[in-house]
Amino acid sequence: MKQILSVHKAPEKHWVGDGFPVRTVLHPKTDGASPFLLLDYAEPIRFEPSDEPRGVEEHPHRGFETVTIVFQGELEHRDSAGNQGKLGPGDVQWMTAASGVVHEEKHGADFTRIGGTFEVAQLWVNLPAAQKMTPPAYQELGNKSIPVAEISGGGSARVIAGDFNRTRGPAKTVIPVFLWDVSLPAGSRLDLPAPSGCSAIVFARSGSVRLNDNEEAAGLELAVFAVDGDGVDVEALEDSKLLVLGGEPIDEPVVAHGPFVMNTFDEIRQAVADYQNGVMGTLAVR
C-alpha cells in the first residue's frame, strides 16, 4: 500500500468574500499533493436570510482548474466566457480557467432569501505548462449525473472524476485525476483503488478513520500518501464522510500569486497585466 507522508490538522477559518468561511486544508507547498494546489473547505454553517447575496465578487484565474462541490446550500456562478449556472446540494462545477477567466461566485437567490445550512469545498487542480494557455472550459455536473458506487460492508462513493472499482465519473479532466465523495458507516473497511504513480489524499470532512492500520485521521484532518505503492486501506472508526483525490504529479515549477498559478515569475507578471488590460474579459453588469 501507499505510505503515509503526513497528516495535517485543519487551520483556523478565514473568510473568502463574505459568503465562504473556509479552512485551507491543502496549499501549494504541501509536499506530495501534486497535481493539486489548494483545498478550501467551508464546513456546515447556518446563514440567515438576507436581502443581498453573499459570496465573492468578480475576480480572475489563470493556469489551473477550480472544482467546486456543493454539499449543502446553493451557489450561483457566472464568468467572462459566458457561462452561468446554479449549483445545489450534490452538484459540482469544474471550471478550467487555463489562459484566463473572470468570474463571480455567490449564494443562490433562493438560498439568500430563505437562508439555511451551507457546506462547500473548492479544489484547485494544476495544469501542465503546455495546457496553461489553452482556452477556458466549463462543466456543470448535476447531482443526478454523478454515479454512486456501493461499497461492500456498507457505505458509498460518489464518483466525480476517475474510476472507482469500474464506476467512471462524468468529469472530463485535462490530466488524469480522480475525485470521490465517500461515506462510510462505523466499522466498515475500504481498500481505496489509488494506483501506483499517482498521488493520493484523504480528507475527513467528518468522523474518524484509521489509515493503513497505523494512522488516524479525525474530522477536518487531511492525509497525504506517497506516489509509490498501490491502494490505501481505510477503516471507519465512526460514521465518516471523506473526500478522496489523487492524480498524476506534474513535475514542473509552481509559481503562485493570488489567483494565478504559472511556471515563472514573468508569466505571473504577464497574467496580472493581462487581467488589468481586460484580456481575460469582464462580467456584464447585472
The β-bridge partners of 20 are 16
Euclidean distance between CA atoms 254 and 273, whole angstroms: 19
**Per-residue DSSP letter, 2:** P
Is 51 a domain residue?
Answer: yes
Q: Is 258 inside any structural domain? A: no
* Residue 132 predicted with pLDDT over 90: yes
Q: Round to whole Å and give the CA distance between 222 and 9.
A: 7
Secondary structure letter of residue 269 according to DSSP:
H
Cell triple for residue 3? Answer: 505510505
The answer to whether position 13 is within a domain reads: yes
For 18, half-sphere exposure in the C-beta direction (CA atoms, 13 angstrom radius) is 7
Residue 125 CB-density burial (10 A; 0-12 exposed, 13-18 middle, 19+ buried): buried
Q: How many domains does the chain have?
A: 1
CA–CA dist 189, 223 (Å, integer): 17
Domain for residue 259, yes or no? no
pLDDT of residue 254: 97
| Residue 270 included in any domain | no
Q: Which domain holds residue 225?
A: 4-247
**122 - beta bridge partners?**
40, 68
Transcribe 142-198 into DSSP letters: -GGGS-EEE-TTS-EEEEEESEETTEE-S---SS-EEEEEEEE-TT-EEEE---TTS
Confirm whether 105 is domain-assigned.
yes
Domain membership of residue 266 (yes or no) is no
Residue 284 has pLDDT above 80, yes or no: no
CATH number at residue 133: 2.60.120.10
**pLDDT tens string 141-175:** 999 999 999 998 889 999 999 999 999 999 999 99
Query: For residue 283, what pLDDT is reported?
Result: 87
Grid coordinates standing for 231? 491502494
Q: Tens digits of per-residue pLDDT, 250-267?
A: 999 999 999 999 999 999
| Structural domain includes residue 276 | no
